[in-house]
Structure formats: structure tokens, C-alpha cells
Structure 1
């Protein structure tokens, strides 16, 4: 696998509000935060651009609503902001699932920077990460999803169907990879390729 010298790491919604398990329910992949941190570190140490995305929920009771502490980035992400090479960081806010529907416009910025490959990490695997990956693929970007640098929560759907966080995440990965929207890989694969 090749990671372009100017590939953008898009860190999706790594916010404190996702730690409120009473709201979200059981999660999967407890190692995700360490993997996300390692990706940011490699991107910054190699001078590659990092995009930090924050979800500003419009729902009144959401742990991700603006003005509430859950809206803030998790500490390890906040500590890493501004540590990259000057001009290689972008901060995007959004109110919907896709980071491509945020402010400032991610697609416009990527094109202006000549970036054609994006690597995704963050929360939730099957929501904002998956939606951003699908849209990135539709827009013609080479999309890589670091699967174990994402996590999600148990989910209930139609007909009383309930799936565990692992099942939901796996279904998202199969859909993205098998459907050709993105290449789904491990953090180690991405880190090794980026450091090469």
C-alpha cells in the first residue's frame, strides 16, 4: 500500500461526548484512541496535512451539542492540534454526517492543496466515518479507512433488529471495501506505509 506524500489524514469527530456511554450504549474497539493518536503523530512527523473534524450537533440533548463540554475534542487530540508543519492543518465543523458538508468546504481545500488521497479515522465507524468515506469515493478521492482507528456503538434498526458494535462496524467495513468506496486496512498498515 502506498500513502501519498501529501495524503490528508481526516480525524472525524473524536469528541468527549462519545465517552458518555449512558447515552450511546456499548462500544467496540477500546484500542481505537491509541491508534488515532499514532496516526496523527505519524502525519505530523512526516509533514502531511491533518484535518480535524468536529460535529456540532443540532439536537438539543446531544452530548455533541455546541456549548457543552462533550462538543470538545478528546484531550489527546486537542493536545496534538497545531503541532504539525505550518499550513498543513485544517479545522472543519459540521452538523451532518459527512465531513464534505462542513465549514470550510473540505473538497475545495483538498483540491486547492492538490490532495487526491485521504485517510480516515475517528468516530463512528458506521456513521460519520462511513458517510465521509462514501462521499470521498464518489468525489474521486483515493480513500483509505484505518478500521481499528475507528469505533462505534450497538445499534437498533428496523424489525427489532439489534446489532452489536462489532457487527455494525464490520458491516460498514464490508460495505465500504467490498463496494469500492474505500480501502479498509489496519492502522499498522497505514503507519508502516506512511513512515516508509
Structure 2
């Protein structure tokens, strides 16, 4: 894929689901992503990206999953397998530590926090598209969790809406390496305009 020039005024970092349950020791999902996350250097890469995009003046947008509350999904006709897991495991529970932001990735002044998504896509039934269009964003760079669920669904939706989409393959993780391979080697090339490493993305950012 061709090298991309990211302009600060038209680029946004979409930070998907940086919750304690996903990224912190003691989180409910962390044990299942830990092996992949540690091998790709997920946390350090997210820290580097988070700092670099802010220095470059790129808009940071948080794309949070629905924080589970008692009663969620129970009366639904067709909850997805992932939603059933959340319902059973109380992942990202509202008012609990697991549903809070990882301490290294809390929203800062000027950041946008989109409405919570119920399914995998950060765009479906939220204000994410509206928030981006109001800021004249044309390019989105998507990082966070999980590579083959919320990242892929959000990125596919972004492409359908006409955004230029970048995936950062070592700024995400999944439950299995097979899922990472599918997300970046099989599925990603069918919709993403650019699939890069953290180093490649940082090299392409405008200088502060």
C-alpha cells in the first residue's frame, strides 16, 4: 500500500475501548489478550502513538464500548455471541474499575468521546460519524481492541462512509494469533487503505 501523508487538520486517531478490563493487569479480558499484546508491544505502542498524535495536533477520538449494566441484552431478541459474553462476564461494567479508562489513556481536554457502541462498530447507532464530519475529518487511524471485532467492524464501517482508513497492526491485539492474521493479512487488505506498523505510522505523522 502506498505511503500516506497525514494532515493534522483532517486526521483523527480513533482509540477504541482503552478500558482497564482490556489493558490492565487484573482486567477481565486482559488474561486472554495478554500473550498477543505483549508480543506486539501493544501498551508501549499505544503510549507512543497517543503522545505523538497529540504533539502533531491530530484529533483524538475515543470510541468506547457500552459499559455493561444490569439488564443489558437480557431482553434482546438477537444478542450476538460477543454480547452474550459481555452479559455473562460483566465486561466493562459501568461504575467499576474494569469499565474505567486505562490510566495511561484517559481523555484529555480537546478530545472527543463518542457515544458508546452496543455492538462491534463504533459508528453504528452512535454520533461518531457526525463528530468526525463536524471537524472535517477525512482520514482515520484506528487503534485499540480487539483487532478482529471492534477494530475491524469500525474500520469497515468507516470505509463504507467514505473515510480513508489506516490500521496499525501492532497497536491492537486479539485473543489468538489466527485472529490477528485474519484481521491484517486476509481481511484488512480488502477495505483498509493503509496497514502499517507503529513506527511506520509515526514516521508519516506531521512534525510538531
TM-score by length of 2: 0.78
- State how far apart, in whole Å, the 2-side matches of 1:48 and 1:25 are: 28
C-alpha contact 1:13 1:54 (8 A) present in aligned 2: yes
8 Å Cα contact 2:156/2:191 also seen in 1 = no
- Contact 1:137–1:143 (CA<8 Å) still a contact in 2? yes
Give me the whole-angstrom Cα distance separating, in 2, the residues matched to 1:24 and 1:68.
20
Deviations 1:52-81 (A, max 9, x none): 122124425322122221111111102xx2
Look up the match of 1:158: none
Cα-to-partner distance string for 1:160-188 (whole Å, 9 max, x where unaligned): xxxxx111111111234321334211011
Whether 1:179 and 2:205 are equivalent positions in the alignment is no
**Aligned partner of 1:168 among 167, 171, 179:** 179
| Corresponding residue SS for 2:15 | strand
Residues 1:74 and 2:78 are matched in the alignment? no
What 5-or-longer segments of structure 2 have no aligned partner?
Answer: 73-86
Cα distance change on mapping 1:24 and 1:102 into 2, 3 Å: farther
Match 2:37 to one of 29, 32, 43: 29
> Is 2:157 aligned against 1:135?
yes
The secondary structure found in structure 2 opposite 1:82 is coil
Q: Does 1:194 align with 2:198?
A: no
Counterpart position of 2:21: 17
Does structure 1 residue 94 correspond to structure 2 residue 105? no
Does residue 151 of structure 1 match 2:177?
no
- Per the normalisation by structure 1, the TM-score is 0.82
Structure 1 residues 94 and 45: CA distance shift in structure 2, 3 A: same
Aligned positions, number = 178
Residue in 1 that maps onto 2:61: 51
Pairwise CA RMSD of aligned residues? 2.0
Partner of 2:144: 122
Give structure 1 regions of 4+ aligned residues with deviation exceeding 6 angstroms.
Answer: none
Taking the aligned partners of 1:145 and 1:25, their CA distance within structure 2 comes to 18
Cα offset, 1:22, TM superposition: 7.9
Q: Deviations over 1:50-109 (max 9, x none)?
A: 00122124425322122221111111102xx215xx4xx100222211111254x11111
Tell me, what secondary structure is at the counterpart of 1:28?
Answer: helix
